Chains A and B, each alone.
Chain A
């Protein structure tokens, strides 16, 4: 653990900084919205129920679903911090609005009546009486919002906003506790620190305690200065960072990937090959579900690795077909026509669903094919990833094709199915045929003897809109480096090689960049 920290501390600090930034910006925006809304509904009683209702509902939307809604939207959507901040603001609104209302309405009636009767104007009543007296309650709301936001910001990693969630999701995917802790411990500590800090500030504003009004004024001024400096600092830092990430200009490329090791490795391969050609690369890895597809359509990434079968069924919504050539051709032409996206040649390996059982079971029961296993199924418990349960070429068709009936089926995280299988909690899972853990955990892949699963040849999807090099030529063509790299990669990665690469990362827990670099050197793609 100590070694891990020593090697990664600067990376961890950067993620903590991103996390703090996400929380800080979201809370700042949420306060700017919630405070006026809260004040408004103390004055317009008729608005109280509907507005609080809306804020309540927003809070109950599951965060992943909210991200799903937001991504396709213009201006506030897309992938990256912006979407995350919009979602985080939604979650932070309710506690602040509610406490603003409670705080103001909780003020002693005689105090408010006296204020009005002394001849204070509405705004004098608000700023000199109501807000100061409600401040400690409002701050409690902000405190709750901050703690919630620190937690929800973990999910922000799913839309490529960075933050500590990256460690947590990576840790889950790789089954690596060090990564999990690297994400969980700082975020928990952050929540505790925020909670404690706000507790102290609240006390300062609590009018039932002895203190001088002047010192609290000074504290307020200091807090304002501090916040301003922080905002300026962060804004500057972000501006510096974002200058290098603009996509579409010659010499820049944004490479995306899906949220599992193999996709990240493939993306990293292209990223490093581009960098060798002096193209600046922005990495937007870890895009879950169909996010990568949405992102490339929105122009937020320029390319990402995809599988023909996934494109065919999950994106183009065709019924599964088992002929690899037919699938590839149709995907290529439809992507071109419908999306203006270019499909590279197949990379050489096929990452199909692998129906996996424990090696000991396979040897004991002499299981070779899925049909062999169908006899055992009624005594077995199966575990499948969320994705497999819902996709058109997934569980429904699969169980029908083989007439399978399990004693039980668990819908769980794909990453956890491997662990669940090797620890005997389930007896059969649907993994990826190139997964490094197959060898590492002594699992056996059963043959798809009825050819149910469509082919999943790995390809790259590339955005046509990338502008050409400065020498000219029009839109719609690809940058030279892309063409060259895709030419080199065509058919270059065998299934065994891919499995080995995956194993290096998932099994041997080595750094992805190093693994990719070694492979590129071995292949002679870089020196």
Chain B
């Protein structure tokens, strides 16, 4: 369960009694405590509106907490220079958010070029990353995002997030909008890739299958709180009602329209 604060040296990201609300409305995040350890993949699982995306956006300071602190590498996000923090944090979102006026290589090389790497180094890095995400640089480097399929775009999105070799990767339903076959192959490849790279990943999804497949630990969220925090092995054995409801969707045979 959630660790006592301050004594976990392994934590790359820590939430300390964090709340977030907009203009004094109902809390979207409600007194949240959470430590994300170095090198683990923490999956935030929950229905839409449960606060999982907001939790993610608090980490790279797209949002700031209305109460409590979010610590990254031991330092509160509000004390970070937000530009520095974001360049050290990879970010992948559902529809990739690639720049339509940038080529694939330019999209991948975005953060390195913001960091003023030399053009040679940027080029080498973006080739390397395209190969890593399974796109042939010779074929794809000079294409534009509109010339790619959804799965290819998402691969570029992952490559872009990894470009400056950030220790932390935030992923907001990165495979949510893909067709099932593409999604399955990307999940598999990503799972292998992260094992090799050793990044710390915070991953948001509403797909329990995806959570079980990728997570070191699963944080089940409901109405701004973490209701369950377990490893996948313990998660499937949990008696928690919400967790059981999620798990039941896995075993149910599909209803066939029209009947027989």
Contact = CB atoms under 8 A, between A and B. Distances in A.
Interface of A: 108, 110-111, 113-121, 124, 129, 132-133, 207-208, 210, 213
28 contacts: A108-B97, A110-B96, A110-B97, A111-B97, A111-B98, A111-B100, A113-B62, A113-B93, A113-B97, A114-B96, A114-B99, A116-B86, A117-B60, A117-B62, A117-B91, A118-B114, A119-B82, A119-B83, A119-B84, A119-B86, A129-B99, A132-B101, A133-B100, A207-B100, A207-B101, A208-B146, A210-B147, A213-B102
A118 B111 contact: yes
B132 to A, nearest CB: 18
A213 B96 CA distance: 21
A110 B87 contact: no
A411 B103 CA distance: 63
B114 A124 contact: yes
A214 to B, nearest CB: 10
Contacts of B127: none
B82 to A, nearest CB: 8
Contacts of A213: 101-103, 106
Interface residue SS majority, chain A: helix
Interface in B83-135: 83-87, 89, 91, 93-103, 106, 110-111, 114
Given A110-B94, A121-B83, A208-B146, A116 B62 contact: yes
B155 interface: no
Contacts of A120: 83, 114
Given A108-B97, A132-B101, 6 more contacts: A110-B96, A113-B93, A114-B97, A116-B86, A118-B110, A120-B83
Contacts of B83: 119-121
A114 B174 CA distance: 13
A370 to B, nearest CB: 74
A115 B91 CA distance: 10
A118 B87 contact: yes
B111 A119 contact: yes
Contacts of A124: 114
A115 to B, nearest CB: 7
B86 A118 contact: yes
Given A110-B93, A110-B94, A208-B146, A118 B160 contact: yes
Given A111-B99, A207-B100, A213-B101, A119 B114 contact: yes
A110 B95 contact: yes
B6 to A, nearest CB: 28
Q: How large is the interface on B (under 10, 10 to 19, 20 to 34, 35 or more residues)?
A: 20 to 34
Contacts of B160: 118
A111 B97 CA distance: 4
B140 interface: no
The 5 closest A-B pairs by CB, nearest first: A114-B97, A119-B86, A119-B87, A110-B97, A117-B91
Contacts of A114: 91, 93, 96-99
Contacts of B96: 110, 114
B246 interface: no
Nearest to A107: B100
Contacts of A110: 93-97
B144 interface: yes
A180 to B, nearest CB: 46
Contacts of B102: 213
A208 B98 CA distance: 13
Contacts of A117: 60, 62, 86, 89, 91, 93
Nearest to A129: B99
Interface-central residue, B96, B110, B160, by most chain A CB under 10 Å: B110
Contact of A208 (B89, B100, B114): B100
A206 to B, nearest CB: 10
B119 to A, nearest CB: 14
A498 to B, nearest CB: 68
Contacts of B82: 119
Contacts of A121: 83
Contacts of B100: 108, 111, 133, 207-208
A124 B60 CA distance: 18
Interface in B136-170: 144, 146-147, 160
Contacts of B84: 119
A116 B146 CA distance: 21
B10 to A, nearest CB: 25
Contacts of A108: 95, 97, 100
Contacts of B111: 118-119
A232 B89 CA distance: 49
A118 B60 CA distance: 10
A207 to B, nearest CB: 5
Contacts of B60: 117
A54 B99 CA distance: 34
